[in-house]
């Protein structure tokens, strides 16, 4: 089983959307038994909260029901997960600083590295923007999740 952890800053927009999209795409391919998917934030400001209502609304229009509750990343996550996927440079740098060892650092990667259609350096934080920002995030995450699944299927 491949254990994947998606990371953004507060775990209320990008990473729970990535979690929900990945879970649905994996289920649609009948691969649920091969993946454990979760999300967390580099900060715990919103711990216990559902994803941002705007992100839930935009995701639901595309068929993704985001129901996870925000949590901060823990030391144990670096040991328990095979891939720790950050959304932007700040997330990646924070994860690199917090990684307890070289093996843990090698698990960290950027979400947009898996994009096949979109060319982006990061998945931008839509929190302070409008509807178009949430739609862009979903476009990037759908693309990246497709690429991630294809890559992981090659490793199975």
Positions marked active-site: 8, 14, 125
d(CA 101, CA 119) in angstroms, rounded, equals: 31
DSSP 6-22: EEESSSSSHHHHHHHHH
Q: Measure Cα distances from 76 to 79, 81, 82, 104 in Å.
A: 5, 9, 12, 10
């Amino acid at each position: 089983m491949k254990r994947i952890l998606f990371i953004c800053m507060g775990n209320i927009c990008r990473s729970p959307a990535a979690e929900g999209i990945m879970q649905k795409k994996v289920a649609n391919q009948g691969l649920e038994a091969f993946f454990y998917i979760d999300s967390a934030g580099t900060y715990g400001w919103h711990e216990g909260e559902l994803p941002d209502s705007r992100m839930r609304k935009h995701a639901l229009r595309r068929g993704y029901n985001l129901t996870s509750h925000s949590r901060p990343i823990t030391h144990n996550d670096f040991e328990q997960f095979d891939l720790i996927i950050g959304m932007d440079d700040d997330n990646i740098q924070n994860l690199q600083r917090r990684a307890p060892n070289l093996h843990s650092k090698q698990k960290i990667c950027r979400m947009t590295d898996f994009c096949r259609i979109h060319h982006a350096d990061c998945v931008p934080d839509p929190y302070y923007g409008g509807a178009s920002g949430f739609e862009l995030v979903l476009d990037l995450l759908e693309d990246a999740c497709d690429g991630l699944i294809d890559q992981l299927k090659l490793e199975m």
